[in-house]
Structure 1
Amino acid sequence: MSKRLKHRIRRLDVSLWTLIVPPTVWAVHFLFSYLWAALNCAKVGEFAKFPTLFAVGTVLALLVIAAAGVIAWIQSRMPGDDPPHESGTDVDRLRFIATSTLLLAGLSFVAVIFTATPVLFLTDCR
């Protein structure tokens, strides 16, 4: 990754809104998965042979979550005070939120994969 891009990522404002991006993407993908399955079963009666729309939606969700995780990973490694973090500086808060976002991104990435896995194994809508 280029130094310029890392510098731009470090300058991004981090707030609680960035913390909820990965779980929100997972929740939207979860809703999308159930709607896709319901519509497909209602119209066709079975899952598609190769669910192109579902695959595109899953890959898009995984890319957004991975991007949030990479940004959080870069921001969590910003130089700052050594532990213990007793003073509560802006850098400490940023690294805490970035680390939390990184953990949520990992959890959300696995959750999207688990949500998408049944499409690979199920062919019948029963």
Structure 2
Amino acid sequence: MTDERRKWHERLRVTLWTLIVPPSVWAAHFLFAYLWAAISCAKAGAFARFPLLFVAGTVLALLVIALSGWIAWKQQRTTGDPPPHEQGTEADRLRFLAMSTLLLAGLSFVGVLFTALPVAFIGDCR
């Protein structure tokens, strides 16, 4: 099948750069959460009743991580030998990086959820 006819996620290649996307989004969300809490407590003295900006930032972070994980999941399912992908071939390298990205995406997804939990359960700035 030619490159033009392949789906967009099949044209993407998992690399070391795509490997760092999920933990980077998690770190950015972590920073965003703490800045939001600090500014919210400093300005209003309490968390906002319905923190729309925080919810939107959390949903955006979860969507980016889920998209990264989905692309990695699609690419790690390429045909070839079963795991472990320890040979030096291009396909094994792709599958290894894709599996690593998938695992990091899962960890980062849970990390973002746990970073957002205090907003749901803590209502004041003590």
Q: Is the 8 A contact 1:6 1:74 kept in 2?
A: no
Partner SS for 2:49:
coil
Aligned residue number for residue 125 of structure 1: 125
Give the 3 Å change call, closer, same or farther, for CA 57–101 of structure 1 in structure 2. Answer: same
Aligned residue number for residue 64 of structure 1: 64
Measure the CA separation in 1 of the matches of 2:96 and 2:83: 12
Listed one character per residue, the Cα deviations across residues 3-38 of structure 1 (whole Å, up to 9, x for unaligned) are x99743222122100000000000000000000000
Give the 3 Å change call, closer, same or farther, for CA 57–85 of structure 1 in structure 2. Answer: closer
Q: Is the 8 A contact 1:65 1:105 kept in 2?
A: yes
In structure 2, stretches of 5+ residues that fail to align are none
| Runs of at least 4 residues off by over 6 Å | none
Aligned residue number for residue 108 of structure 1: 108
Measure the CA separation in 2 of the matches of 1:7 and 1:35: 39
C-alpha root-mean-square deviation of aligned residues, in Å?
1.8
- 2:112 alignment partner AA: V
Number of residue pairs the alignment of both structures matches: 123
Q: CA deviation at 1:88?
A: 1.5
* Percent of paired sites with the same residue: 68
TM-score, with normalisation over the residues of structure 1? 0.91
Aligned residue number for residue 30 of structure 1: 30
Listed one character per residue, the Cα deviations across residues 23-62 of structure 1 (whole Å, up to 9, x for unaligned) are 0000000000000000000000000000000000000000
Q: How does 1:1-126 map to 2 (within 5 A)?
A: 7-82=7-82, 85=85, 87-126=87-126
Q: CA deviation at 1:91?
A: 0.6
TM-score, with normalisation over the residues of structure 2? 0.91
Q: Is the 8 A contact 2:85 2:95 kept in 1?
A: no
Q: Is the 8 A contact 2:85 2:93 kept in 1?
A: no
In structure 1, stretches of 5+ residues that fail to align are none
Measure the CA separation in 1 of the matches of 2:5 and 2:76: 15
Q: Is the 8 A contact 1:75 1:98 kept in 2?
A: yes
Q: CA deviation at 1:85?
A: 4.4
